[in-house]
Every structure is written in structure tokens, then in C-alpha cells.
């Protein structure tokens, strides 16, 4: 297990700041930072039990405790990475002000690497996606994607796939078929 320390000249890994927010780094890596911050405001009061999508394991509580202060956990769910990717993300979060111990950062990197590896499945944040993204991922027309966005804006965002399937005139079978690609 690679350990992350604060020392700039160590053979044991990145600086502790690098692992402060592996999860937060995932969020920062996305082009959805502004939306992530808004989502993080509501997520900041969430408790670890509120996130059953995060499997049990050493480091889970640390990820949820440190990272959801600023970011929605959905970012991690949508952006699996290998060890180097998570370390880079953590380093970026530390540069942005994430605070934690060396052990916290190592636990975060270990947990995320083990539980959220890279995925060949293209993910889309349905509450932030543009029409072309939705059309491409869902395999629907641009017209249907625009209808989804118009409805999404009208209801102020989707909380679940069931909310998304309420869009009038959209083929719910196509939405169901791609549910693994959707992040709410």
C-alpha cells in the first residue's frame, strides 16, 4: 500500500495535501466545478450512512468526511480513476486548500483506487449535461435531448431516474437502458 506523506522528497508517495480530497479532486477534474460546489453545499450536511453507493471499507468514512465538505459524492461515482489519477486529483485538491493528515490522504487514495477504478462506461451528469451529451449517451435525438433539458429546467433538476422518465414524449426504455451512464 502506497502511503502519502507531507515530505516533498519521499519515496513513499505524494504530499499529504495530495490525498486530502481525492474525491474532491475528481470533482475538480470535471468541468462541472461550479455545479459541484452547489451540490456540495447540500451534501455538506450529509452523513456517511446517507451514501449507500459507497461500499464499506477502510477509508470510506474519511472520503465522506473530508471530501463532501466541498463536493457532491456523485463526482466520484462518475469519474473512476487508477491510482495515479486519484493521486493527481488529491494533489490538486491540496493545492486548492484541502486539509487532512497523511493518513487521511493515503486512506482516501487506497479506498478510491480499490472501489472506483476507471470505467469504460461513459457517464453523464444529467442535471448539467448539454443536449448533445444527452443525445450521445442515451442514443436519442437532439430533439428529445432538448425536451429533457427543458423539462429538467422547469422542475429545477432531476433527483432520480424516475424524475427523468417523467419527461413527456421521451422513450423511457432508452433511459432505462442507459441508467448505468447517468449520474444525478
Same domain, 20 and 44: yes
User: What residues contact 16, with CB distance under 8 A and at least 6 apart?
Assistant: 4, 5, 6, 94, 100, 101, 102, 104, 105
User: What residues contact 138, with CB distance under 8 A and at least 6 apart?
Assistant: 144, 145, 174, 175, 178, 181
Q: Which residues constitute the domain of residue 94?
A: 16-115
Q: Which residue has the cell 490525498?
A: 19
Domain count, the chain: 2
Q: What is the pLDDT of residues 58-83, one digit of tens each?
A: 999 999 999 888 887 777 877 789 99
pLDDT at 159 over 70: yes
User: What residues contact 119, with CB distance under 8 A and at least 6 apart?
Assistant: 80
Same domain, 157 and 96: no
Same domain, 143 and 85: no
Q: Is residue 177 part of a domain?
A: yes
Same domain, 97 and 132: no
Q: Is residue 94 part of a domain?
A: yes
C-alpha cell, 58: 477502510
Same domain, 26 and 96: yes
Query: For the whole prediction, is pTM greater than 0.85?
Result: no
Same domain, 95 and 133: no
User: What CATH number corresponds to the domain at position 138?
Assistant: 1.10.150.310
Q: What is the pLDDT of residues 117-154, one digit of tens each?
A: 988 888 888 998 999 999 999 999 999 999 999 999 99
- Of the pLDDT bands very low, low, confident and very high (cuts 50, 70, 90), residue 49 is low
Same domain, 107 and 171: no
Q: Which residue has the cell 466520484?
A: 76
Q: Where are the beta strands (DSSP E) in 37-123?
A: none
Q: Is residue 7 part of a domain?
A: no
Q: What is the pLDDT of residues 165-182, one digit of tens each?
A: 999 999 999 999 999 889
Same domain, 66 and 40: yes
C-alpha cell, 89: 486529483
User: How far apart (Å, rounded) are the C-alpha atoms in residues 21 and 120?
Assistant: 24
Q: Which of 156, 57, 155, 69 is nearest to 115 (CA)?
A: 57
Q: Which of 115, 146, 171 is the C-terminal boundary of a domain?
A: 115
Helix (H, G, I), strand (E, B) or coil at 16: helix
Amino acid at each position: 500500500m502506497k502511503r502519502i506523506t507531507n515530505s516533498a522528497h519521499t519515496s513513499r508517495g505524494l504530499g499529504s495535501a495530495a490525498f486530502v480530497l481525492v474525491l474532491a479532486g475528481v470533482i475538480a477534474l470535471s468541468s462541472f466545478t461550479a455545479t459541484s460546489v452547489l451540490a456540495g453545499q447540500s451534501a455538506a450536511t450529509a452523513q456517511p450512512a446517507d451514501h449507500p453507493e459507497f461500499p464499506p471499507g477502510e477509508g470510506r468514512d474519511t472520503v465522506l468526511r473530508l471530501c463532501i465538505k466541498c463536493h457532491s459524492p456523485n463526482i466520484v461515482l462518475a469519474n473512476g480513476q487508477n491510482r495515479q489519477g486519484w493521486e493527481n486529483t488529491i494533489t490538486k485538491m491540496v493545492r486548492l486548500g484541502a486539509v487532512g493528515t497523511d493518513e487521511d490522504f493515503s486512506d482516501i487514495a487506497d479506498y478510491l483506487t480499490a472501489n472506483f477504478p476507471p470505467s469504460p462506461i461513459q457517464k453523464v451528469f444529467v442535471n448539467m449535461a448539454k443536449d448533445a451529451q444527452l443525445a450521445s449517451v442515451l442514443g436519442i435525438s437532439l430533439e428529445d435531448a432538448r425536451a429533457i433539458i427543458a423539462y429538467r429546467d422547469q422542475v429545477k433538476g432531476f433527483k432520480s431516474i424516475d424524475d427523468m422518465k417523467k419527461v413527456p414524449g421521451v422513450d423511457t426504455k432508452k433511459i432505462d437502458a442507459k441508467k448505468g451512464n447517468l449520474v444525478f
